[in-house]
Amino acid sequence: VAVLALGAFMSAMWMTRARPAIAMTPMTGQTIPVSEASDRFTAWGTSGVTLYDADDSVASWVQVLTAEGERRREEEGWQPGVYDARAWDGSWRVKYAPHIRTLSTTLLSTRFDIVYHIRGREIVSNVRYSNALLGKGWLNASGSVDSLNADDSEIVFEQFWVDGDVPQPSAAPDGSALGSAINRLGALGFVRGLSRFPVLWLDDKCCVFSFPPLGVNIATVRE
């Protein structure tokens, strides 16, 4: 089941590259201050909601943060893509990701909860999945994260493993024959050229970055 889950997940990711992301039109009206947008998104994102609860209001907050980040880069020389341990290190949970919502509709209503743990240019990704057919479990990867330039970050995943329906994922592959096979499968499916992410906004509470192949923005909250 674990191998099927990982294979189905990776296949669906390839499929969504050719599919448009679910559109979430920002609310019209007066733009709120960037500090308020950050506070609102963070308060909402840490209130027990999932990325599937994001509505037009959430999209509008993300848009405010993205626009302010663009202004600061152009007018003030802001460089959010440059690695800074104080700014980057921590646990970041995805709360806004239109392409993941699309993936869920493609992959038999599978739901995902994604968190990234960054420590000193090392990253661990834990993806909790839930599917009526495949059950529940974890899709995990670890590797490195660093700056490509002043705006863009790059993630290079090197290890891949899965866990079953347990409360918390394991910290690393178990070294078994099955684990080695899953690791090889993950390595074959990893495309480094698609793992470059422009950082659009970053503060001590939340982060917005883009996934250029699908033209979508992703927003996370720090835990």
Q: Could you tell me the pTM of the whole model?
A: 0.86
Lowest-confidence pick of 7-11, 118-122, 141-145, 154-158:
7-11
Taking 50 as the threshold, does the pLDDT of residue 126 lie above it? Answer: yes
Please tell me the predicted confidence (pLDDT) of residue 11: 43
**Residue at token pair 């720090």:** 222
| 82 phi, psi to nearest 5 deg | -85, 125
Instruction: Judge whether 88 and 79 are in contact, CB under 8 Å.
Output: no
Please tell me the predicted confidence (pLDDT) of residue 1: 43
Q: Give 60-110 as a DSSP string.
A: HHHHHHHHHHHHHHHHH---TTS--HHHH-EEEEEEE-HHHHHHHHHTTT-
Structure tokens at 181: 């096979």
d(CA 128, CA 118): 17
The closest of 151, 201, 218 to 34, measured between CA atoms, is 201
Mean pLDDT on 9-20: 41
- Summarize pLDDT for 148-157 with one digit per residue, the tens: 999 999 999 9
Plot region of 129 (φ>0 → left; ψ -120 to 50 → alpha; else → beta): beta
Taking 90 as the threshold, does the pLDDT of residue 103 lie above it? Answer: no
- Summarize pLDDT for 180-197 with one digit per residue, the tens: 999 999 999 999 988 999
- At 168, the amino acid letter reads Q
Structure tokens at 79: 């460089």
d(CA 173, CA 160): 7
Instruction: Judge whether 113 and 50 are in contact, CB under 8 Å.
Output: yes
- Summarize pLDDT for 33-61 with one digit per residue, the tens: 999 999 999 999 999 999 999 999 999 99
d(CA 139, CA 125): 8
